[in-house]
Structure 1
Amino acid sequence: MKKYIFVLFAMLMAPLVSAAPEFKEGVEYKVVQETASSKPVVTEFFSYVCPHCYSFQPLMSKLEQRVPDLVLKKVPVSFLGREMGPVLQRAFGAAELLKVEEQLTPVMFDRIHRQKKMPNDLADIKAVFIANGVAEKDFDGVINSFALNGMVAQYDKLTERFEVHGTPTIIVKDKYELNMSEIGSEERFYQVVEYLLSLK
């Protein structure tokens, strides 16, 4: 009788075991810092000029829906976009300070990648902000402000700290970097992130 009970238990457990994700360090992710954040934080290093970052935005939005307590951080890098790289980085920071980032980021991505209208200078950036409801005086008040300079310095510090050289780069809990080429699908992306968020 005990034998049959054991077999039945094994059969019931088999689907659970097979469904468990098997993610390995050095394959789907690597460790980039010794200490993990105690918060469920995911950091995305990105650039407005990066086509992969543009395509990646719906995944990040769905990730927020799947993980309700997720802290999602976006860090703009300055090394893409040539002379416009630092300008676009400041544009993101300005949007954050003006509390319009969620509105402006899709606009910037759409303008650059769908409309093929790459901003040529800060004046073009300013025009986009104004066209989307930001007062000219408000934009002028933040774009060269001490607060924005501090944010830009922090963006660069984080980019250097995690040795980011390409985008999008995804860091989970300040400790694990995803190997996007090994993940392979949208659902697997969510599973890997959720798995890493569960680690101590």
Structure 2
Amino acid sequence: MKHLALMGTLLWMCGAGSAWAQAETQEPFQEGVHYVRIDQAPAPRDIVEVTEVFSYRCSHCNTFEPYMQAWNARKPAGVELTRIPVVFGRRDWELYARAYVTASVMGIAEQTHVPMMDAIWKERRDMRSMEALADFYAGFGVTREQFLATAESFAVDAQMRREQRQVQIYGVTGTPTLIVNGQFRVAGNQAVPSYDDMLRVVDYLVARELAALESTPAADS
């Protein structure tokens, strides 16, 4: 009986030890639950890119913006934040997406991003035409005429088409959505119920991608 009891204790200890080891090695976030791996992901770059897919007409994106700004201020070295304004086939979203891309082509997207959100959601400015949007952007170092001309340019058209194709590849169906290195999609769901949770998942994926970059041998010069 003592022998059987000892064997039972040893088996329990082995089982418990296995469970403890599994708990220690288990990743905090799981693919398919907290994030989605993207098919047709582009080749990795020498930095880690986090892309926010958003719309100025999305109230959730407006609520998320302070979280995104705080994250951008604390993001680690070697990480770049980019944005894609999504259209989803909606005319008003297309107008504001074109305005953002125009600002990007003109080099004023970063300085005008938060002011544009505030103009729409805090000041409730009526800007439902490109002319009205040009009046807004004219306060940031470009003329109304320059903005309107750029909005109809080949460069803006090409970037709009390229980015909307990218949104389809990423499988984005709602906003805000975050893409890590073109390979992982993070959006709110039952397992990721808050904006803080979204950014925790992003931090986890960013850390993984940074570690992968550090472990990749440098290309021969």
Matches within 5 A, 1:20-39: 22-33=28-39, 35=41, 37-38=44-45, 39=47
Shift of 1:187: 4.5
**Alignment partners' CA distance in 1, 2:156 and 2:187:** 31
The 8 Å contact of residues 42 and 72 in structure 1, kept in 2 or not, is answered as: yes
Flag as ranges the 4+ runs of structure 1 deviating above 6 A.
none
Q: Structure 2 stretches of 5 or more lacking a match?
A: 1-23, 213-221
**Alignment partners' CA distance in 2, 1:187 and 1:129:** 31
**AA partner of residue 185 (structure 2):** E
Q: Identify the residue that residue 142 of structure 2 maps to in structure 1.
A: 134
The 8 Å contact of residues 43 and 75 in structure 1, kept in 2 or not, is answered as: yes
Matches within 5 A, 1:1-200: 22-33=28-39, 35=41, 37-38=44-45, 39-64=47-72, 65-79=74-88, 82-181=90-189, 182-197=191-206, 198-199=208-209, 200=212
Shift of 1:53: 0.8
**Alignment partners' CA distance in 1, 2:199 and 2:123:** 30
**Alignment partners' CA distance in 2, 1:77 and 1:190:** 20
Q: Secondary structure at the match of 1:180?
A: coil
TM-score (norm 2): 0.73
**Number of equivalences:** 186
Shift of 1:133: 3.4
Task: Identify if the C-alpha distance between structure 1 residues 26 and 103 changes in structure 2 by more than 3 Å, giving closer, same or farther.
Answer: same
Task: Identify if the C-alpha distance between structure 1 residues 125 and 37 changes in structure 2 by more than 3 Å, giving closer, same or farther.
Answer: same
Cα deviations by residue, 1:156-186 (Å, 9 ceiling, x for unpaired): 1111111222111111121111142222445
Mean alpha-carbon deviation: is it higher for 57-66 or for 160-169?
57-66
Identity of aligned residues (%): 27
Shift of 1:21: 6.1
**Alignment partners' CA distance in 2, 1:186 and 1:140:** 35
Task: Identify if the C-alpha distance between structure 1 residues 27 and 114 changes in structure 2 by more than 3 Å, giving closer, same or farther.
Answer: same
The 8 Å contact of residues 51 and 180 in structure 2, kept in 1 or not, is answered as: yes
Task: Identify if the C-alpha distance between structure 1 residues 126 and 56 changes in structure 2 by more than 3 Å, giving closer, same or farther.
Answer: same
Task: Identify if the C-alpha distance between structure 1 residues 184 and 85 changes in structure 2 by more than 3 Å, giving closer, same or farther.
Answer: closer
Task: Identify if the C-alpha distance between structure 1 residues 163 and 34 changes in structure 2 by more than 3 Å, giving closer, same or farther.
Answer: closer
